[in-house]
C-alpha cells in the first residue's frame, strides 16, 4: 500500500516553490483550547522531520510529540496537493501562548524559514494556480462574513462562481476575436471579411447584454457591505433609545436635552441572517449651534445614501393626529415612519406607521420584522454570481464600454478588433489571468496572518 501511494505521488508534477518557508499561527490569537500553526515552503519537510522525527502519511492526521514542547496532531501535505501548491504542514496543538510561541520559534530555528506576511499563504496559492483572484476575494469575504447570507455568497465565490462566469465570457470573447482576426487576414476578400465580422457581432451582442444585466445588479455588493438603515427625525423623538433597543445594549447617549447626538453612531445587526447596519443621526430641526448644524448636515447626507430611513416621531406629542411626513428631502430613499413612546399615548394613532416604545419594548418585534423584510428584499441576490466588489464593477464597466464600441459600425475593423482585445484584457484582470500586480497587494492585505 505504501509503495503504491509513493509511486502515485511520484507521478505528480510539483509546482515551483518559493525560496523561503513561512510559518504563522492560523487560528485566533490568545489563549484557546486548540491552536493551528501553518507551515508552507520547500523546508516544510525538514521542519517536520526535525520536530516530529519523521513524516506522517500525507493528508492523514497523526498524533505526534512535537519536540519537547507539546503533543498534538500533525498533518503533512506534499506539493502540489496542498492549499498553497507547495509542501505544507499544519500542527494542531494546545492553544496556550507559551506553546504557540515555542513551536513557532522551533520552526524558525531551521534556516530558510521566516514568519508569514498577512495573506501570504493565499497569495502563494494564487501564484501557483490554486486560486484565481475572485476566489481569493471570496475566501477573504468568507473569513470576515458575519451573517448567513454573507457566508453563502462568499462561499459560492470562493468555490469559483465568479471565475466560471468570467471565464465563460472570456471564451466567448476569444471566439469573436478569432473571427475578427480571420476577417482582417482576408480583408482583400470583401465577402469573407464581412461574413466574419457579422459572425463576431452575433457573438458579441448577447455577451454585451449579459454584461449589462450583471452590472445592473447591485445586490452582491450591498449584501457584502450590509443593508444601510438610517434613523432620522426631530430631536427628542427617541432615536437613540430605539438604536439602543435594537442593539440590546447602550451604544448611544440618551438625554432629554435637544442636540445630544452630534455625530453618526452605527451598530451592525444580524436580522434573519441578513447584515443590517443601523445608524443613529442628529435630530433635525431649525436653528442650533455650529456643531449641531454640522451634525444635522451629516445626518441628511448619510440618510440620502442609505437603503432605508426610519423616520422617528414622538408619539407623546402627537396625540391622535396623523403621523407627519418627513420634511427633509432624502431623494429616492424609501422612508418608514415609526411612532415612538406609545407607552405615553392614550388615544390611538392615525396614519400608516409602526408604533413602538423603546422604553417598554412594545412593538419592537414588529419593527425588527419590518426591517428584516425590507433588508431581505433590498439584498435579494438575483444573479447566481453577483458582483461583490468595486474592483469587479470597474473592470466590467471597461468591458461593457469596449463591447459597445465594437458594435459601432462607424469604426474600422482594426479598431473594432482592438476593442475586443481591450475587453478580453479587462476580463483577464478580474481573474488574474494577466499581470495585475498593482491590485495584488490590496487584495491579500485584507487577510490575517496565517491565511
Output the CA–CA distances (angstroms, integers) from residue 191 to 196, 205, 333, in the order listed.
9, 21, 54
Which grid coordinates belong to 295?
451634525
Mention every residue, 6+ apart, whose C-beta is less than 8 A from residue 8: none
CA 142, distance to chain mean position in Å, is 7
Q: With CA atoms as reference, report the closest residue to 220 among 355, 387, 392.
A: 387
Helix (H, G, I), strand (E, B) or coil at 68: coil
DSSP letter for 318, please.
T
How far is residue 318 CA from its own chain's centroid? 43
- Please tell me the predicted confidence (pLDDT) of residue 358: 85
Q: Tell me, what's the pLDDT at 215?
A: 92
Q: What's the pLDDT at 349?
A: 60
User: How far is CA 221 from its chain centroid?
Assistant: 8
SS3 content of the chain, % helix, strand, coil (to 5): 45, 15, 35
Weakly modelled stretches of the chain, pLDDT under 70 = 1-18, 183, 185-193, 251-263, 285-293, 295, 317-328, 346-353, 380-384, 434-451
Q: Which domains does the chain have, with CATH numbers?
A: 2-129 (3.30.1360.120), 134-219+386-431 (1.20.120.430), 227-378 (3.40.50.300)
Is the pTM above the cut of 0.75?
A: no
Q: Is 23 helix (H, G, I), strand (E, B) or coil?
A: strand
Give me Rg for the CA atoms of the chain. 29
Rounded to whole angstroms, how far apart are CA atoms 388 and 238?
35
Contact 122, 139 (CB under 8 A): yes
- Tell me, rounded to whole angstroms, the distance of Cα 89 from its chain centroid: 28
What lies within 8 Å, CB to CB, of 241 at 6+ separation is 254, 340, 358, 359
**pLDDT attached to residue 74:** 96
What sign for the dihedral angle of Cα 188, 189, 192, 194?
positive
Contact at 8 Å (CB) between 238 and 340?
Answer: yes
Asked if residue 80 has a cis previous peptide bond (ω within 30° of 0), the answer is: yes
Amino acid at each position: 500500500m505504501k509503495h503504491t501511494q509513493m509511486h502515485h505521488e511520484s507521478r505528480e508534477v510539483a509546482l515551483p516553490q518559493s525560496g523561503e518557508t513561512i510559518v504563522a499561527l492560523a487560528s485566533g490569537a490568545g489563549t484557546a483550547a486548540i491552536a493551528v500553526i501553518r507551515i508552507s515552503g520547500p523546508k516544510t519537510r525538514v521542519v517536520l522531520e526535525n520536530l516530529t522525527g519523521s513524516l506522517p502519511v500525507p493528508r492523514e492526521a497523526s498524533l505526534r510529540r512535537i519536540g519537547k514542547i507539546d503533543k498534538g496532531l500533525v498533518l503533512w501535505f506534499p506539493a502540489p496537493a496542498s492549499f498553497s501548491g507547495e509542501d505544507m504542514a499544519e500542527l494542531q496543538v494546545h492553544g496556550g501562548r507559551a506553546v504557540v510561541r515555542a513551536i513557532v520559534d522551533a520552526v524558525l530555528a531551521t534556516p530558510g524559514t521566516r514568519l508569514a506576511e498577512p495573506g501570504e499563504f493565499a497569495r502563494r496559492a494564487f501564484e501557483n494556480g490554486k486560486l484565481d483572484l475572485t476566489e481569493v476575494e471570496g475566501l477573504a469575504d468568507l473569513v470576515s462574513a458575519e451573517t448567513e447570507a454573507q457566508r453563502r455568497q462568499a462561499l459560492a465565490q470562493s468555490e469559483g462562481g465568479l471565475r466560471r462566469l468570467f471565464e465563460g465570457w472570456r471564451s466567448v470573447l476569444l471566439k469573436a476575436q478569432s473571427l475578427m482576426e480571420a476577417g482582417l487576414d482576408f480583408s482583400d476578400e470583401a465577402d469573407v471579411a464581412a461574413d466574419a465580422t457579422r459572425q463576431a457581432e452575433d457573438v458579441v451582442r448577447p455577451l454585451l447584454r449579459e454584461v449589462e444585466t450583471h452590472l445592473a445588479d447591485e445586490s452582491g455588493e450591498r449584501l457584502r457591505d450590509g443593508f444601510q438603515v438610517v434613523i432620522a427625525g426631530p430631536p427628542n423623538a427617541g432615536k437613540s433609545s430605539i438604536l439602543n433597543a435594537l442593539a440590546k445594549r447602550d451604544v448611544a447617549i440618551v438625554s432629554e436635552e435637544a442636540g445630544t447626538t452630534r455625530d453618526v453612531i452605527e451598530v451592525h445587526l444580524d436580522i434573519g441572517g441578513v447584515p443590517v447596519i443601523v445608524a443613529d443621526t442628529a435630530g433635525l430641526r431649525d436653528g442650533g449651534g455650529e456643531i449641531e448644524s454640522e451634525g444635522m448636515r451629516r445626518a441628511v447626507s448619510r440618510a440620502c445614501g442609505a437603503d432605508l430611513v426610519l423616520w422617528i416621531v414622538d408619539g407623546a406629542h402627537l396625540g391622535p393626529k396623523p403621523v407627519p411626513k418627513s420634511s427633509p428631502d432624502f431623494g429616492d430613499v424609501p422612508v418608514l415612519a415609526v411612532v415612538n413612546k406609545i407607552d405615553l399615548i392614550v388615544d390611538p394613532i392615525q396614519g400608516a406607521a409602526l408604533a413602538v416604545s423603546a422604553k417598554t419594548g412594545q412593538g419592537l418585534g414588529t419593527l425588527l420584522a419590518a426591517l428584516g423584510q425590507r433588508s431581505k428584499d433590498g439584498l435579494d441576490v438575483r444573479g447566481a454570481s453577483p458582483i461583490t466588489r468595486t474592483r469587479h464593477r470597474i473592470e466590467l464597466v471597461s468591458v461593457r464600454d469596449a463591447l459597445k464600441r465594437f458594435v459601432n459600425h462607424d469604426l474600422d475593423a482594426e479598431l473594432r478588433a482592438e476593442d475586443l482585445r481591450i475587453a478580453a484584457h479587462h476580463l483577464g484582470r478580474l481573474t488574474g489571468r494577466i499581470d495585475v500586480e498593482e491590485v495584488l497587494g490590496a487584495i491579500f492585505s485584507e487577510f490575517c496572518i496565517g491565511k
